[in-house]
Structure 1
Amino acid sequence: MDLALLRTFVTVHRAGSFTRAAALLGLSQPAVTSQIRTLERQLGRPLFLRQARGVTPTTIGDELAYKAAPHLDALVEIAGTGLAESTVPRTLHLAGPPEFTAERVLPALASRADGNGQDQALRVSFGTAEEVLEGLGAGHHDLAISTTRPRGALLTATPLCDEEHVLVAAPRWAARISTAALQRTGAPLLDGLPVVEVHASLPLVTHYWTAVFDSVPTGSGRVIVPDLRAVLSCAAAGVGLAVLPRYLAAPALARGDVVSLLEPVVSPLRTYFLVVRTGTLAVPTVARAHDRLLRAGAQWS
């Protein structure tokens, strides 16, 4: 079986469309279509179902991708670096949420040397869980940090750490809310108070309300900004309530810039996962970064 055909097939499988695969491979779309048809003729089975927007793999297509992708990734790594370790370290392409990646992941990676005593070259992209997993599957990234565990066999996820969430507000808001009353009354005491969040759907506030108060928030966000560091700044400025990771809020809590409104017996948690394309932990650069982050994650709380 022609390895070039397999490489094109795996790229289409990850990209979900002939057009996007063609761009990734530097080929024309007709060339990609022709190669897939050739491979399908050789196998005597369809590998993709053509749809109005992209393609969907058949069962045979998924099985072939699961078997072939790890080996192709390893071959690409050998071709790119040679049989011996290069004197210039391979660049690791990392993707994840901006705050967690900036505050925890990058310090753990950037301050450590690789197995040859060389600094690891990094290229970092930020995005939502959906965006980073899609980019990883399409081959844009080597390693992704996600709050969503991916489905299917092409991506492999390992729990990295749990993140505790805390409900905070500026002192002037906290002075109006009795912790004891909040423990007795619950969410109704907070109805109508302004909220700062990362998305209009209020994902963190809703998760907290559901876990702690067994209810859903009734208000809407006064400020919506897609970065938890900005959410913290707004909360400290007195804009409204916010739900934040404790590690991120800890310095502001210690300074008194914000106050924890409630300390439930069991705090809401969110799990982060380290995600790779299945089989790519055989690539030394990916494996080293994966191992460093797992060891660092064991110390995070």
Structure 2
Amino acid sequence: MSITHLRSFVEVYRQGSVSRAAHELGLTQPAVTGHIASLEAQLERKLFTRHARGVTPTVIADELASRVTGAIDVAENVLAEVRARSMRVSGTIHLCGPSDILSDLITDRIKTLMHSNLAVQLHPAVDDEPPRMLVEGRSDFAFAVKVPDDPRIEAALYGREELLLVAAPEVVERIGRETALSEALQEVPFLSYDLQRYMIRMWIEHNRMSIGNAEEAVTTPDLRALRNFVVEGFGWSVLPRYLVAAHLRSGALDVIKGPRGNPEIAYYLLWLKSAMRNPRTARAKALLLQPPGDGEAL
């Protein structure tokens, strides 16, 4: 059973399309079709059911994919990393994600990429845009707080940040006049990153509290804008520590402590599994994930 044929099988399985798999592999569609036909002949079983929009894996394909996909990925990643060590890798790395992460959380990693002869282009994106940009080939890597359920995408934990409930000193004083914190938070305007109140819900649920049917005074998809509004005394919000550390030190913001402390939010680096065949992206991934202060990863 040829490794090349298995490689084609894995890509067709992930893409759900022979044509898209051929594009990702840099092969012709007839070549990939031939690889699948050869595997089916050796297994004496059908691997995919063809239809107008692509292919659907059979039970046999599901079983084969579960057994070989990880090994194929590891082998290709190792080969790409070895090639990266033996050649001068250059070019542009495209990174997408929320603007606050790109500007405030990954500065040291961007510098590491630049020092390794890689240019960087940043693409602000919110909600479900980052995974879509990866799949569409518009970005090499994405930063997100959730890992999408997509077999084509792989993720690694980038880091964790403490979530703090913060407000300007005068707003904190106003909240402190109330006897119960949950009641006080309902009486004072609050600001949210999104309509789902993702970070606020994490903090409230972690502290086993409720803010009832209180509604946001301001909603914005930019955490830096949200922070600036909180600094100006618009109300309270929940923000990651990295974004407010300097303002806490200067006294522009104060922390409101919850009865059970503060939760943490995880940040993930996402990439297409198929992209790791390229030495440039394999090198960039290692550099992006190396701990701050470490030497060059490759």
The two structures have a TM-score, normalised by structure 1, of: 0.70
The DSSP-based 3-state class of the residue aligned with 2:239 is: strand
**Deviation string for 1:219-245 (max 9, x for gaps)?**
232322212112112223333321101
Structure 2 residue 107 is matched with structure 1 residue 112: no
Q: Which runs of 5+ in 2 are unaligned?
A: none
How far residue 99 of structure 1 moved from its aligned partner, in angstroms, is 1.6
Q: Which amino acid aligns with 1:259?
A: D
Is 1:41 aligned with 2:45?
A: no
User: Is the CA contact 1:169–1:259 (under 8 Å) kept in the aligned structure 2?
Assistant: yes
Query: Aligned-pair distance for 1:253?
Result: 2.9
Deviations 1:157-207 (CA, angstroms, capped at 9, x unpaired): 54433201111223443232107x5xx623122125332222111101110
Partner of 1:203: 198
Aligned to 1:59: 63
Query: What code does the residue aligned with 1:111 have?
Result: K
Q: CA 1:3–1:90 in structure 2 vs 1: closer, same or farther (change >3 Å)?
A: farther
Q: Which residue of 1 aligns with 2:13?
A: 13
Which residue number in structure 1 is paired with residue 165 of structure 2? 167
What is the CA deviation profile of residues 8-42 of structure 1, one whole-angstrom value per residue up to 9, with x for unaligned ones?
544443444557556656889x7698457525534
State the AA in 1 paired with 2:117. Answer: D
Q: 1:110 to 1:33 in 2, by over 3 A?
A: closer
Identity of aligned residues (%): 27
For residues 129-278 of structure 1, the aligned pairs below 5 Å read 131-133=129-131, 142-148=140-146, 157-178=155-176, 181=178, 185-215=180-210, 218-262=213-257, 266-275=261-270
- 2: CA distance, partners of 1:38 / 1:112: 45
Indicate the residue corresponding to 1:102 in structure 2. Answer: 103
Q: Is the 8 A contact 1:11 1:138 kept in 2?
A: no
Q: Is contact 2:9-2:36 (8 Å) kept?
A: no
Q: Are 1:110 and 1:120, in contact at CA under 8 Å, matched by a contact in 2?
A: no
Contact 1:15–1:21 (CA under 8 A) maintained in structure 2: yes
Between Structure 1 and Structure 2, how many residues are aligned?
Answer: 288
What residue ranges of structure 1 are gaps of 5+ in the alignment?
none
The alpha-carbon deviation at position 293 of structure 1 amounts to 3.9
CA distance in 2, matches of 1:60, 1:15: 16
Q: Distance in 1 between matches of 2:213 and 2:35?
A: 51
- Give 1:247 deviation, angstroms: 1.3
